[in-house]
Amino acid sequence: MNLSQQVGEFVVRVDPERCRRCKRCVLNCGFGALSFENGVVADHKKCAACQRCVVFCPEQAIRVEHNPLAMKDNANWSYEHRRDIWRQAESGGMLVTGMGNDKPFFIFWDRMVLDACQVTNPSIDPLREPMELRTHIGKKPDSVQFERQPDGSLKLKTNIAPVIELATPILFGAMSFGSISLNAHKALAIAAQRCGTLMNCGEGGLHEELYPYGDNIIVQCASGRFGVHAEYLNRGVAVEIKIGQGAKPGIGGHLPGEKIGLEVSKTRMIPQGTDALSPAPHHDIYSIEDLRQLIFALKEATEYKKPVGVKISAVHNVAAIASGVVRAGADYVMIDGFRGGTGAAPTIIRDNVGIPIELALAAVDDRLRQEGIRNQASILAGGGIRNAGDVAKAIALGADAVVIGTAALVALGCRICQKCYTGNCSWGIATQRAELVRRLDPHEGAERLTNLIGAWSLELKEVLGAVGVNSIESLRGSRERLRGVELTRDTLDILGIKPAGR
């Protein structure tokens, strides 16, 4: 075996004067980077910069720094480019990574600004006046009819398809049990229930312990059909067909064997230690009418009591695809932009395939309106949503609600070290190792998630107040409230917004 030519990206420095040799850091590191021999000894190559040791050191004695290795500057060949080639030369394999695209592509959220009201139209004071965020996800008819009862009272005559009521337009995105731990799943479920929103169990099936939270869970039906059975379908409040995800459009899900432990094996019904690969296409969906068939099969299996949605990745012709999906009968379309996260994906796909959610969302919303079918399905948008500002802008572009994955994990403690695929997450989130999973207390995690959703909802209300509306439906799709800063004409055109100053 040739000696690896790679060096560590990070260096762990322990201040010997402060260190009280409690060994807490050694115990906490999930990557095995720290050991103890008359003092803390670091194997720098294994450090993932997950900050667990730094946070848990009682003396704040640890610093994790970039390895200050000087390499000749090269504007074309970054350190990462060189390092990746060394890795491939040593392994002959595809590079794999976790979380979302980290490359410096343009972020459109940061070039859009929101309006505020002054003088001619007052802003509203969200702390003192009612501000409504309630959102309904599902298919809505064009119009409604009423009829009079014999006693003179009002009754709805039109049949409305089942819709899901959310207290706030922010949902937790699909993250499979397998890619994340059971405790993380539980934390999401408890928080979703508390916040009046939903989590999505992802393509790994639904563990029994989450059954009591069914009213706040979307169950996913992906190409691997892991854990999909009739009871599963009826447990959740909606069923989502996963066609793609933003981090890896065109390819399937990937759970490395390291992460298939006992519980995952049981829930997914596959052997322990094997790689769980969901094929890229559903092998029964090769054309749009096949999708329609699956949608209705699911509706029949759930007796038309649950909305059936479809999750697609944002790609070049996302508008046409979304239109097809809606016409195929989906009650909602979830669009995952190229910044979406993942537990494991080939780096080359994660960083080069897919389009930004801002553009995809605008294009889909426009197309559905042009075709007169916008009310037939709700649009959920996600893929790198970082704060309530992004949420507000997404809604102004036309999203019914916004989906967060990475942000939720960060709330639980994730530092986005991108090592999820190793299953060594020191925070107990993206791992199945029992000793690591145990660290994530579902109730504490749920509280952190609830705080996040609560804080963003308050911020969203502040934004609504500033734009002078007191319910979210008056901002939804109101492109007039956005302006672009330093965007090209084409981009402004696609986003359907004016440049700031007009």
Residue 51 CB burial class (10 angstroms; 0-12, 13-18, ≥19):
middle
- The residue within the footprint of another protein, chosen from 68, 92, 104, 372 (CB under 8 A), is 372
Cβ atoms of 368 and 362 within 8 Å: the answer is no
CA distance 218 to 378: 15
The first and second tokens of residue 466, run together, are 């500033």
Q: Which is nearer to another protein, 386 or 433 (CB)?
A: 386
The number of residues that bind another protein (CB under 8 A) is: 55
Binding of residue 129 to another protein (CB under 8 A): yes
Binding of residue 156 to another protein (CB under 8 A): yes
CA distance 404 to 372: 28
- The residue within the footprint of another protein, chosen from 37, 70, 73, 128 (CB under 8 A), is 128
Binding of residue 146 to another protein (CB under 8 A): yes
In a 3-state reduction of DSSP, which class is residue 321? helix
Q: Which is nearer to another protein, 38 or 120 (CB)?
A: 120
Cβ atoms of 344 and 368 within 8 Å: the answer is no
Cα angle for residues 163, 252, 326 (degrees, 5° grid): 30
Binders of another protein among residues 378 to 397 (CB under 8 A) are 396
Q: Which is nearer to another protein, 30 or 477 (CB)?
A: 477
Segment contacting another protein by CB under 8 A, of 61-69, 366-374, 402-410, 417-425: 366-374
Segment contacting another protein by CB under 8 A, of 37-45, 72-80, 342-350, 478-486: 478-486
Q: Least distance to another protein from the beta carbon of 470, Å?
A: 6
Binders of another protein among residues 20 to 49 (CB under 8 A) are none
Phi, psi (rounded to 5 degrees) for 63: -130, 135
Phi, psi (rounded to 5 degrees) for 375: -80, -10
Q: Which is nearer to another protein, 90 or 447 (CB)?
A: 447
Length of the chain: 502
- The residue within the footprint of another protein, chosen from 122, 212, 250, 279 (CB under 8 A), is 122
- The residue within the footprint of another protein, chosen from 477, 484, 487, 491 (CB under 8 A), is 477
Binding of residue 348 to another protein (CB under 8 A): no
- The residue within the footprint of another protein, chosen from 58, 229, 480, 485 (CB under 8 A), is 480
Binding of residue 134 to another protein (CB under 8 A): yes
Binders of another protein among residues 166 to 225 (CB under 8 A) are none
**Please, what sign has the CA dihedral across residues 489, 500, 111, 74?**
positive
- The residue within the footprint of another protein, chosen from 17, 73, 142, 231 (CB under 8 A), is 142
Phi, psi (rounded to 5 degrees) for 177: -70, 115
CA distance 502 to 499: 6
Segment contacting another protein by CB under 8 A, of 89-97, 174-182, 204-212, 468-476: 468-476
Q: Which is nearer to another protein, 182 or 475 (CB)?
A: 475
**Please, what sign has the CA dihedral across residues 397, 400, 406, 412?**
positive
Residue 142 CB burial class (10 angstroms; 0-12, 13-18, ≥19):
exposed
In a 3-state reduction of DSSP, which class is residue 295? helix
State the distance between the two ends of the chain, measured CA to CA, in whole angstroms: 65
Binding of residue 470 to another protein (CB under 8 A): yes
Segment contacting another protein by CB under 8 A, of 28-36, 51-59, 193-201, 372-380: 372-380
- Residue 327 is which amino acid? R
- The residue within the footprint of another protein, chosen from 4, 6, 91, 158 (CB under 8 A), is 158
Cβ atoms of 246 and 383 within 8 Å: the answer is yes
Q: Least distance to another protein from the beta carbon of 408, Å?
A: 18
- The residue within the footprint of another protein, chosen from 242, 299, 339, 476 (CB under 8 A), is 476
Binding of residue 234 to another protein (CB under 8 A): no
Cβ atoms of 327 and 349 within 8 Å: the answer is no
Please compute Rg for the chain using Cα positions. Answer: 24
By CB under 8 A, name the binding residues for another protein. 117, 120-122, 125, 127-130, 132, 134, 136, 140-149, 152-156, 158, 160, 163, 369, 372, 374-375, 396, 455, 458, 467-471, 473-481, 496-498, 502
